[in-house]
Structure 1
Amino acid sequence: MLLKTFGWSFVVTAVGLVLAVLYGGWTAFGIVAILSILEISLSFDNAVVNAGILKKMSAFWQKIFLTVGVLIAVFGMRLIFPVAIVAITAKKNPIDAVNLALTDKDQYQQLVTDAHPAIAAFGGMFLLMIFLDFIFEAREIQWLRWVERPLAKLGKVDMLSVCIALIVLLIASMTFATHAHQHGGAHIDKGQTVLISGIAGLITYMIVGGLSGYFEDKLEEEEEREHEEEEEAARSGKQRSAILLAGKAAFFMFLYLEVLDASFSFDGVIGAFAITNDIILMALGLGIGAMYVRSLTVYLVRQGTLDDYVYLEHGAHYAIGALAVILMVTIQYQINEVITGLVGVLLIGWSFWSSVRRNRAIAEAEGKAEAPDAKAEVSSGV
């Protein structure tokens, strides 16, 4: 079961790590490995959401999402999107940007470094909005209650996430951006660039979120309509056309999943810029991670274990929040790549261990509750 589900991911991992060593030695190997772990940790909640929707779909539409969808996720968002970011921020033709990355690594690296304040502002705002919208939402299950409970109450204020994100952006544009480094080591005021890029990241998040919400509403409408027609068919004794309705619902599910996948791909791609500016290593690491997310989605659907580790989603979003802060700080200060990568891994590991402890505590409580009942049955039998 494990080999069947994760087989292709293991193959892609082996090939990707070998290519990393051939490309940049063992340092590149380490960076690709960290990027892979980062992508998996950041996208775990995406896999959980995908699995929850995929299990409602027919085998045909599951295959469509796990074949066509994974091609879009790996080659579209993990390969094309990083090139697009560099091309836009460095004002280069996409083809020239790719050629430059392959032929003149030093110049390409310098172009990316000069464009880093804009990239960091765009990505920092996008990631920050994901984290804020999560942390301000009231949830039945809370991980760090002393933090999440009061913030959930504050989240009742309309547009609070947007207001906080804009305040952070203004502060960053008036502090970090005023000392951002330019080519040659000179200092240049990039406040306007950071401000515009941050607003672009905020707008991108709102557009993606709006589209996801639209498709989710469409999905709910289709499910309600299907339920109503089932009841009507049952009353009239007629057999309705279930295939057409299932097709519509599955189509909206597919669109919703693609938009959702794109939104979660942003945080992985943007977060990768906090670890490396090398487009080749980025593509290898994120591609490996995306394959594991795909396999994990299939595994969760087949095993039905979506609710086993309830704090993992929290840990992933805290990692996103940490990356957002790191990206904003790197507008002026350089932070070690290893530290950046380990922050997300540690948060995910902590949330996983908390989930395990929670499961053990629940099992022990249930065992103690059953023990008196068993004694009572024995006593009554005697």
Structure 2
Amino acid sequence: MVVRIFGLSVVVTIVSLIIAFLYGGVEALILTAILGVFEISLSFDNAVINATILRRMSEFWQKIFLTIGILIAVFGMRLVFPLVIVWIASGLNPAQALDLALNPPADDAAYFANGDPSYETIITDAHPQIAAFGGMFLLMLFLGFFFGQKELTWLSWIERPLEKIGKLEMLEVVIAITLLVLTATYIAAPDEQLTVMLAGSLGMITYILVNGLGEYFNVEVEDDDDNEAVEPGTDAAEKTAAAKTSGEDAAGDKSGPSGLAKATGKAGFFLFLYLEVLDASFSFDGVIGAFAITADPIIIALGLGLIGAMFVRSLTVYLVRKGTLSEYVYLEHGAHWAIGALAFILLYSIGTHVPEIFTGLVGVALIIASLISSVIRRNRLAAKGEEEKVNI
């Protein structure tokens, strides 16, 4: 299974490194490899979150995400997105923006007679609005998870109180708006305040719209399924019984890869959109951070896109196929805490630069801590089960 899942990513990595070498020699090859490792280390929490959503989707929509989705991730976020920023911010047409990216001037004033900034400078200057949009989208995701009701909690001393106060309607929106206002007022530069407010508001609107539509159509599908009669003795009845014995409760918990109900049709489509926006939000810090290493869009697309994004997709598939999230039950909690940390880091970075390595290490540390806690819990339950057998 490991070879089948990760084999294509390995092949893509080798091909990407060869292309990088042919494109820019040894230096380009090294930079591409560095960016690939950089993206994988930053995006492990992204893979965990992707897996929690992907396992709710039908096989058809899983394939769509793993094919069309990878094209959007590679070419959309890692190549087209930076060019669009330059196109909008500089007033250049797409061809000029690409030329500026591929042929950077010797200094910022060399490209235009009036001293317009370079490609890298334009991308860096666009960070406040990018961070505001991504930070607010991820913040809404973080608050939505911990304000909701859950059977299990990891850091119970804080997650249980969050569940209790989360019973207040629209509390996550109130908190998010408050933090956005504080960020725009005290962190953003005076000339960026309005831009940050607008970008952050769009991030919140995007989350509420896409998540809300996904839940709405998912409920419609589940209602239709519930209204269908199941004749005793049929395959459908046996599957339903098997699903119940495998851990799916009456409330419709879909935990684990064996969950019977999967999002299809419109529900699957909006989950797909939700995943794409989520993946884009996770990608912002990687794309911006890549410019600390190189401003060449081809190398960024090869390293972050082809190598990094492919391995993130493979890791996502591995987590779903192996049922890892059902076995290591706190991984989802750790990933959402990593999302919360990334959201606050993005908002703070609007006014102060935060090293990308710090951002990546925070997420990895939270994932590892939740994994260790999951292993301890699993071993404790196994020991308890053996003890009960002995007592019997």
Q: Which amino acid aligns with 2:375?
A: V
2:345 aligned counterpart, secondary structure:
helix
Q: Which amino acid aligns with 1:345?
A: V
**Structure 2 CA distance for partners of 1:98 and 1:135, relative to 1, 3 Å:** farther
The Cα shift of 1:64 comes to: 5.0
2:363 aligned counterpart, secondary structure:
helix
> Within the alignment, does 1:269 sit opposite 2:271 as a pair?
no
Between the aligned partners of 1:222 and 1:102, the Cα distance in structure 2 is 53
> Within the alignment, does 1:308 sit opposite 2:327 as a pair?
yes
Between the aligned partners of 1:90 and 1:128, the Cα distance in structure 2 is 30
Matching of residues 67-78 of structure 1 within 5 Å: 67-78=67-78
Q: Which amino acid aligns with 1:251?
A: G
The residue aligned with 2:379 is 360
Between the aligned partners of 1:120 and 1:112, the Cα distance in structure 2 is 12
The Cα shift of 1:310 comes to: 1.0
Q: Which amino acid aligns with 2:210?
A: V
Between the aligned partners of 2:153 and 2:121, the Cα distance in structure 1 is 43
The residue aligned with 1:11 is 11
Is this contact kept in 1: 2:51–2:316, CA < 8 A? yes
The Cα shift of 1:261 comes to: 2.0
Is this contact kept in 2: 1:274–1:340, CA < 8 A? no
The residue aligned with 1:319 is 338
2:152 aligned counterpart, secondary structure:
coil
**Structure 2 CA distance for partners of 1:214 and 1:113, relative to 1, 3 Å:** same
The residue aligned with 2:149 is 138
Q: Which amino acid aligns with 1:365?
A: K
**Structure 2 CA distance for partners of 1:212 and 1:99, relative to 1, 3 Å:** farther
Between the aligned partners of 2:377 and 2:86, the Cα distance in structure 1 is 44
Is this contact kept in 2: 1:177–1:194, CA < 8 A? yes
The residue aligned with 2:44 is 40
**Structure 2 CA distance for partners of 1:173 and 1:62, relative to 1, 3 Å:** closer
TM-score (norm. length: structure 1): 0.79
The residue aligned with 1:116 is 127
Is this contact kept in 1: 2:135–2:347, CA < 8 A? yes
Is this contact kept in 1: 2:187–2:350, CA < 8 A? yes
Q: Which has the higher helix share?
A: 1
> Within the alignment, does 1:104 sit opposite 2:104 as a pair?
yes
Is this contact kept in 1: 2:75–2:305, CA < 8 A? no
The residue aligned with 2:172 is 161
Summarize deviations over 1:321-366 as a string: whole Å, max 9, x none.
Answer: 1111111111121122211221111111111111111111111111
Give the alignment's Cα RMSD to 1 decimal.
3.0
Matching of residues 45-60 of structure 1 within 5 Å: 45-54=49-58, 57=59
Is this contact kept in 2: 1:35–1:289, CA < 8 A? yes
1:139 aligned counterpart, secondary structure:
coil
The Cα shift of 1:206 comes to: 1.7
Unaligned runs of 5+ in 2: 109-117, 235-261
The Cα shift of 1:168 comes to: 1.0
**Structure 2 CA distance for partners of 1:68 and 1:26, relative to 1, 3 Å:** closer
The residue aligned with 1:206 is 208
Between the aligned partners of 2:225 and 2:27, the Cα distance in structure 1 is 50
**Structure 2 CA distance for partners of 1:170 and 1:252, relative to 1, 3 Å:** closer
**Structure 2 CA distance for partners of 1:136 and 1:94, relative to 1, 3 Å:** farther
Between the aligned partners of 1:152 and 1:25, the Cα distance in structure 2 is 48
The Cα shift of 1:252 comes to: 3.7
Summarize deviations over 1:221-275 as a string: whole Å, max 9, x none.
Answer: 44335x33x559x8xxxxxxxxxxxxx9743454144223213212222232453
The residue aligned with 2:240 is none
Summarize deviations over 1:196-237 as a string: whole Å, max 9, x none.
Answer: 121121112222212322332343244335x33x559x8xxx
Is this contact kept in 2: 1:222–1:249, CA < 8 A? no
Q: Which amino acid aligns with 2:196?
A: V
Is this contact kept in 2: 1:117–1:177, CA < 8 A? yes
The Cα shift of 1:308 comes to: 0.7
Identity %: 44
1:48 aligned counterpart, secondary structure:
helix
TM-score (norm. length: structure 2): 0.77
